[in-house]
Structure 1
C-alpha cells in the first residue's frame, strides 16, 4: 500500500538525539539489540481481526506452525523441491498488515504483484510467515517490535527443515514489510542477504496505521526507526524503491545518513512502489538459485538496476 508520511509526526532530529548514545556503542552489531534489552513496549490499540490462515491448494503451499516468543504462529511454506540435497530459502514479509496473510497463491497483476510468487520456483524454498496477533495467532500486534523476534523465529524454523540449507536463508519484504525487514537486519546477521522494497526511515511515519503503541512516545519510536540503527547491519542489505513516487524520499534520507558498506540503496527508474516488485523478485530469485549452485553470493549491480528499469 502507498502511505502518506505525517508532517506532524516526531521530528527525526529528536529520535537521532535520543539514539545517539546507543549508536556510539563500540559494538554496533548489537546496538539495536542493546536498545531493546530491558525495554517493554506498551501497546495501546488493537489491529484488525482476521480469520485463520486459509488452507492452501495442495502442491502450492503447506500450512505449518513455527514457534516464536509469542507462541505457535501460522505460515505458508512451499513443498520440498524435487531431488536430494539442501536448498536455499527466503522468508517474505508482506506489506500492509504484515501480521496477517490471505490467499497468497492467487495470481496478481505484474504491475502490482505482492504475492512473492517469483520465489515459488524449482530449487528454492519460500516461507510466508504470519506474525503475532495476526490471523488467529496468539499474542498482540506490537507494530515493528516483537514482530522482529517472530521473523527470526521463522528463520529458525526454516533452518530446521532437512532440505533447507541453513547457511543460505534470505529475507525480503515490501512496504511495511520492508521496514520490518530492515529492523530484523539490524538485529541479527543470520540472513545470507536481505531485500527491502520501499521501507520508511521510521515506522511512526505510518501514523496509527500498523502502529499499536503511542507514536508520540520517542522511546517507543526510536526502537522502530531503521534509519537510527543502520550501523548494526552485517548481512548484505539491498534497499530498493521505484523512482516513480513511493518512499523515494525515505530511501534518499537513509542513504545520506548511511556509513555502512553492507547496505546499498537503489532507485529503479520507470518503476513505482508496486511495479518494481515483479521484475525485481524475478531477478533476485534467479540470482539466489544461481548463487547456491555456484557457491557464490547474490549481488545487484548498477547494470541490473538499469535492466530492471526496462523489464516489465
Structure 2
C-alpha cells in the first residue's frame, strides 16, 4: 500500500503513477491537502479480538475533510472488451458507481468470477487492459471504481468506506446471472491490494490474491499525509484500516504477491501472516520479478494459477 516506488516532493505531497508503462496510463495529478505533522507509528500493533466484519457494524469513520479521491482523472468511458455497468456503492447502496464487466454469456454451467480492485485512487483504461488474462482463462471479471473517483459522487475516506464499495461490488458480481457464488475470487493491486485484504476479512471469498498490499495504515498515512481526511487523533480510525490488526478475521486462502524491486515484505506483513496462521487460515507470500507497477502482469498470471486450485 505505502510502497509506490515514487518520491515525495519537499512539501510532502506525493506524485503518483498508475501502472505507468505496463498499463499505458499517464501520471495523475494529486489533490493538495493540508500540511500535517508526522504520525506516531505504534511500536506494537494491536491485535483486535473482535471479527472485522462485526467491528465494521459498530464503527463509522469521522471525516474531517470532504474530498474527492486524490487523483485528478477524466470521466469513465467503456474500454474495449468491457461492458459498463453501475453498482450500488456508498452507505447502504446510496451511491451509483461505475464498474467494468467482461463480456460473457450466462449459461446453466455456472462461471467462476474475479473481483479486481485497481491500484491508485482513480480508474483508467490501463487497469482494464490488464484484466484480459482472467477472461481468457474462463473467469468473468468485474473491475469497480470507487467513491469520489473520476468525478463520481462520494467522499474519499482512505480505505474505509472504499472497503464498503468493494463489498458492494462483490455482491453485485455474485448475483449476476450465470455466476457461481461458490467460486467468487478477489484480487487487487497496491491500494486495491490493501482493500482486498480488508474486504476478505469482512466476508468470505473462495480465495484472494492481494498484490503489493499495505497492512499498516499508520505507515501509509505517515507517508501520504495529504490523503489524511479522517480524525487522526482517534487510533481506532487507523486500526479499522489496518488488516494486520485483524489477522484472525481473514476468511479465505490468501496469497500475498510483491515485486522483487519494490519494498520487501516487512515485519508488519510477517506479523499479519503469523496472526492469520494462528487462526488456521491458509496464507502464503511470493516475490515475483519486477517493480511495483511492472509486476502486475506476472502477478495476474500467478493469481490465475492460484485460483485454479480452488475452481
TM-score tier, shorter chain, comes to: 0.7 to 0.9
Select 1:196's aligned residue among 210, 213, 216. 210
Alignment of 1:102 with 2:124, yes or no, is yes
Tell me the equivalent position of 2:83: 62
Alignment of 1:255 with 2:269, yes or no, is no
Return the alpha-carbon distance in structure 2 between the equivalents of residues 287 and 238 of structure 1.
Answer: 8
Tell me the equivalent position of 1:11: 41
Return the alpha-carbon distance in structure 2 between the equivalents of residues 177 and 15 of structure 1.
Answer: 22
Mean Cα displacement is larger for which, 246-255 or 142-151?
246-255
CA contact (8 A) 1:242 1:248 kept: no
Select 1:230's aligned residue among 247, 250, 257. 247
Mean Cα displacement is larger for which, 241-250 or 154-163?
241-250
CA contact (8 A) 2:258 2:288 kept: no
What is the SS of the residue equivalent to 1:244? Answer: coil
Tell me the equivalent position of 1:307: none
Alignment of 1:245 with 2:249, yes or no, is no
Alignment of 1:138 with 2:159, yes or no, is no
Q: Compared with structure 1, are the counterparts of its residues 162 and 257 closer, same or farther at alpha carbon in structure 2 (3 Å cutoff)?
A: closer
Alignment map for 1:151-162 (pairs within 5 Å)? 151-162=166-177
Tell me the equivalent position of 1:206: 220
Return the alpha-carbon distance in structure 2 between the equivalents of residues 269 and 79 of structure 1.
Answer: 30
What is the SS of the residue equivalent to 1:74? Answer: strand
Alignment of 1:221 with 2:238, yes or no, is yes
Return the alpha-carbon distance in structure 2 between the equivalents of residues 243 and 40 of structure 1.
Answer: 37
Tell me the equivalent position of 2:24: none
> Scaled by the length of structure 1, what TM-score is found?
0.76
Return the alpha-carbon distance in structure 1 between the equivalents of residues 158 and 187 of structure 2.
Answer: 18
Question: What RMSD in Å do the two structures reach over aligned CA positions?
Answer: 2.8
What is the SS of the residue equivalent to 2:136? Answer: coil
Return the alpha-carbon distance in structure 2 between the equivalents of residues 195 and 230 of structure 1.
Answer: 15
CA contact (8 A) 2:147 2:155 kept: yes
Tell me the equivalent position of 1:50: 73
Q: Compared with structure 1, are the counterparts of its residues 10 and 256 closer, same or farther at alpha carbon in structure 2 (3 Å cutoff)?
A: farther
Return the alpha-carbon distance in structure 2 between the equivalents of residues 171 and 260 of structure 1.
Answer: 20
What is the SS of the residue equivalent to 1:240? Answer: strand
1:170 positional shift: 0.5
Return the alpha-carbon distance in structure 1 between the equivalents of residues 114 and 59 of structure 2.
Answer: 30
Tell me the equivalent position of 1:28: none
What is the SS of the residue equivalent to 2:214? Answer: coil
Return the alpha-carbon distance in structure 1 between the equivalents of residues 226 and 210 of structure 2.
Answer: 19
Q: Compared with structure 1, are the counterparts of its residues 85 and 210 closer, same or farther at alpha carbon in structure 2 (3 Å cutoff)?
A: farther
Alignment of 1:2 with 2:11, yes or no, is no
Structure 1, residues 145-197: CA drift from partner, whole Å, max 9, x if none? 111111111111111211211111111011111111111111111x1111111
What is the SS of the residue equivalent to 1:229? Answer: helix
What is the SS of the residue equivalent to 2:259? Answer: strand
Alignment of 1:171 with 2:186, yes or no, is yes
**Unaligned stretches of 5+ residues in structure 2:** 13-36
Structure 1, residues 85-136: CA drift from partner, whole Å, max 9, x if none? 2211101111111xx31113676xxxxxxx3332231521111000112123
CA contact (8 A) 1:96 1:210 kept: no
1:9 positional shift: 3.0
Tell me the equivalent position of 1:310: none
Tell me the equivalent position of 1:85: 109
> Scaled by the length of structure 2, what TM-score is found?
0.76
CA contact (8 A) 1:90 1:169 kept: yes
Alignment of 1:34 with 2:54, yes or no, is yes
Structure 1, residues 60-87: CA drift from partner, whole Å, max 9, x if none? 0000001123421100000115876221
